[in-house]
Amino acid sequence: MYLVTAQEMRNIDHFAIDTLGIPGVVLMENAGRAVAESIQRKFPEPKNAVVLCGTGNNGGDGWVAIRYLLFAGWNVEAWLVGNEDKLTPDAKIFYHVCQKLTSVHIYHDKSKQKLMKKHLQEAQVIVDALLGTGVKGELRPLLREVVSLINQQPKAWVVSVDIPTGMDTDTGMVSSEVVHAQQTITFGYPKWGHYLYPGADVCGEVNVVDIGLPTQFPADLTPKAQLNEPALWRGYIQPRNPWAHKGTYGHALLIGGAKGMLGAITMAGAVAYRSGVGMVTLTVPEGQEVSLAGKVTQELIWSWSGKSVFSAESAKQFMERASRYSAVVIGPGLGRFMGEDKWLGDLLSTIKAPLVLDADALNILADHPELIKLRDSEYPTVLTPHPGEMARLLHCSISEVESSRLSAARTVANHTGMIVVLKGRYTIIAYPTGKQVVNIIGSPALAKAGSGDLLAGLLGSLLAQRIPANQAVPMATYLHGQAGVIASQTVSEHAVCYQDIIVALGKAFEQLPLS
C-alpha cells in the first residue's frame, strides 16, 4: 500500500475528481460514512458523541459522519469551529443537510466555550474533523483552544478524521496543541505523519479505509513510498528445492567479533542459518576464534591475522578468498577502527557481491566518507544505521535525525547510491532511486542490544541466497519485525531474548504465503 505526502494525496484527489470524473462529494460521502461505521463497530450501542468540524473538507467528512450517527440513533452534538462563510463548497452541501437534522453550534470565539466544554464532558466519543491534510504550520488560536478542550477529556474515545488536528501530514511534527487520538481513520492511503515521531504517538490506532479512490495512477502521480507488506517481495521466497545442496543457498560471510564483542557475530550467524542460507562463515580477528568455537556449532570460522583488530593485512587475506561468498556483512561486533583506515576501503573495492554494512562499519564510513567511492556500484550495498549511527553519518545530532527521519534516510541513500535502512519503531528503507518503504511490523521487544545484529545476519542470509536487494531488504525487515511480534506473544515483551527471536523467525517464515 502506498504511503503518501499531503501533495501526493492532493494529486490523487485531483486525478480521481478532475481526470476520472468521480464527484468530490461522493468521496466525501464515502469518507464520512466510513468514519461513522468505524465508530459504530467500536460502539455497537448508540452513545453520546460530539463531532467538531472545521470549515474545510475535513469538516465535510465530519458533517457526513454526523448524519450517519444520527440515523443510527446516536445523540450527537454538532459543532462548526470557524465561520460559515469559509466552508468549502463540498463541505457546505453536507453542512446544510446536517442543519436540517440537528442544531449546529458555531464556535468562532470564546463565548461558547462553556457549552462546548459541557458537551465534551458528556461525550463518550469525540470526533475531530477540524483539520486534515490542509493544515499549514502552527494551529491558529481558535483551533488551539478547541484542541486543548478535547485533550482535557480523559474518558472519551477520541477519533481523528484523517489526521489528528495539529499534526503535520508529511513530517509528523506537531503544533503546541495537537489532538491526542485513540483512533485515526484515514482515507485511501496512510500518510507519512502517521508513522513519523512525534505524530505517530498521537494517532492511536491508524485505520485506512477505502473511499473509492483509484489504485493505479499515471507514472508522474505514483507515490514514492510504500508500506512494507509481503506483496512487495512475496514472489522471491520459494519452496526449497528437494535436489538442493548447501551450495544452492549461497554462502554468507560475516565479519566482526572483535575482542569482547563475540556475542554480536554469534547472533548474526545463528539468525543467518535460521533464514535459509546454505553456509555461513564467521570471520573474527586472530585470537578470537577459540572463544568463538565454544559458542557456535554450524558456522565455519576463519580468523584473520591482526592481533584482535582488523588490519590491511586482514583485508589482503580476504581478497584471496573473496569469490567464495555470495553476500558479505561487515559490522556485528566489529569494534572501532584502530588506526589504519585502508582495510575497509580494500574490502569495499574487492567484494563483488551484495554487502551489508552495520554498526562500527558505519562509524568508520562516517569518519572516512571517501571510502564510499571505492565500492563497485554494480553490486548492491545496504547500510543499516540506528539513529545514533545515522547521526554520525550525517554529522548531526540524534534528535535532528529523529525529527527528520525520512529526509535523513533519503539524503544518505542519495549521496551514497546505497540502500539505507534507518532502524527504529518504524524502519525507513530508502533506495537510491528515490523510492522508500516503511516497515511498521515490529514490537518493543526488539528494543534490545543484539536486535540490530539479528537484522544484519538475516539480511546477509537473504542476500546470500541471491534474492535481489530491492526485495531482500524489505523482506528481512518484515521478518525481523514479525519475529519480534511472535516472540512477544510467546513470552512477554519484557522477557524476549535473542534466542526467542531466532526461534520465532521459524514461525514468521511459516506464516509467509509462498509464491
In the annotated binding site for AMP, the residues are 423-427, 452
Interface segment toward K ion; rule CB under 5 A; list 157-165, 202-210, 223-231, 364-372: 157-165
**Which residues, numbered 171-210, are part of the site for ligand NAX (CB under 6 A)?**
187
Q: If we measure between CA atoms, which residue out of 176, 162, 175, 210 comes closest to residue 26?
A: 210
Interface segment toward ligand NAX; rule CB under 6 A; list 48-56, 120-128, 277-285, 490-498: 48-56
List, in sequence order, every residue forming a beta bridge with 428; answer none if it has no partner: 422, 438
Binding residue positions: 57-61, 128, 132-138, 162, 165, 264, 333, 386, 423-427, 452-453
257/397 Cα distance (integer angstroms): 28
Binding residue positions for (6S)-NADPHX: 57-61, 132-138, 162, 264, 333, 386, 453
Query: Cell numbers 554469534 label which residue?
Result: 266
360 part of the interface to ligand NAX, by CB under 6 A: no
150/96 Cα distance (integer angstroms): 25
Interface segment toward K ion; rule CB under 5 A; list 125-133, 262-270, 335-343, 442-450: 125-133
Applying CB under 6 A, among 3, 4, 27, 262 the residue interacting with ligand NAX is 27
**What secondary structure letter does DSSP report for 44?**
-
Asked if 135 contacts 178 with a C-beta cutoff of 8 angstroms, the reply is no
132 part of the interface to ligand NAX, by CB under 6 A: yes
140 part of the interface to ligand NAX, by CB under 6 A: yes
Question: Could you tell me the smallest distance in angstroms from the CB atom of residue 131 to K ion?
Answer: 5
Asked if 254 contacts 246 with a C-beta cutoff of 8 angstroms, the reply is no
245/252 Cα distance (integer angstroms): 15
Angle, nearest 10°, between helix axes 57-71 and 24-42? 50
Q: Would you say the C-alpha torsion 107, 113, 115, 118 has a positive or negative sign?
A: positive
Q: Which residues contact 328 (CB under 8 A, 6 or more apart)?
A: 252, 253, 254, 255, 347, 351, 353, 354, 355, 356, 460
Asked if 232 contacts 471 with a C-beta cutoff of 8 angstroms, the reply is yes
128 part of the interface to ligand NAX, by CB under 6 A: no
Integer angstrom CA distances of residue 344 from 31, 353, 418, 421: 54, 15, 16, 20
Residue 366, φ and ψ in degrees, nearest 5: -60, -35
Q: Which is nearer to ligand NAX, 136 or 246 (CB)?
A: 136
Report what 160 binds from ligand NAX, K ion, none; CB cut-off 5-8 Å by kind: K ion
**Which residues, numbered 67-86, are part of the site for ligand NAX (CB under 6 A)?**
86
13 part of the interface to ligand NAX, by CB under 6 A: yes
Question: Could you tell me the smallest distance in angstroms from the CB atom of residue 243 to K ion?
Answer: 57
**What secondary structure letter does DSSP report for 17?**
I
Q: Which is nearer to ligand NAX, 21 or 73 (CB)?
A: 21
How wide is the angle at C-alpha 310 spanned by C-alphas 329 and 339, nearest 5°? 120
DSSP string of 192-255? GGGGSTTHHHHS-EEEEE--S--S---GGGS-SEEE--GGGTGGG--PPPTT--GGGG-EEEEE
Interface segment toward ligand NAX; rule CB under 6 A; list 159-167, 201-209, 299-307, 325-333: 159-167
108 part of the interface to ligand NAX, by CB under 6 A: no
> Which one-letter amino acid corresponds to residue 408?
A
Applying CB under 6 A, among 70, 120, 125, 135 the residue interacting with ligand NAX is 135
Report what 128 binds from ligand NAX, K ion, none; CB cut-off 5-8 Å by kind: K ion
Total of residues contacting K ion (CB under 5 A): 4
Applying CB under 5 A, among 8, 61, 77, 128 the residue interacting with K ion is 128
Q: Which is nearer to ligand NAX, 54 or 387 (CB)?
A: 54
Angle, nearest 10°, between helix axes 498-510 and 262-274? 20
326/365 Cα distance (integer angstroms): 23
Q: Helix or strand or coil: residue 90?
A: helix
Q: Which is nearer to ligand NAX, 134 or 417 (CB)?
A: 134
Interface segment toward ligand NAX; rule CB under 6 A; list 20-28, 263-271, 350-358, 369-377: 20-28
Applying CB under 6 A, among 139, 200, 406, 408 the residue interacting with ligand NAX is 139
Question: Could you tell me the smallest distance in angstroms from the CB atom of residue 35 to ligand NAX?
Answer: 9
Applying CB under 6 A, among 11, 133, 283, 470 the residue interacting with ligand NAX is 133
Question: Could you tell me the smallest distance in angstroms from the CB atom of residue 16 to ligand NAX?
Answer: 7
496 part of the interface to ligand NAX, by CB under 6 A: no
Q: Which is nearer to ligand NAX, 118 or 136 (CB)?
A: 136
Q: Residues interacting with ligand NAX, by CB under 6 A? A: 13, 17, 24, 27-28, 31, 54-61, 86, 88, 131-140, 143, 161-163, 187, 211
In the complex, which residues of this chain contact K ion (CB under 5 A)? 128, 160-161, 165
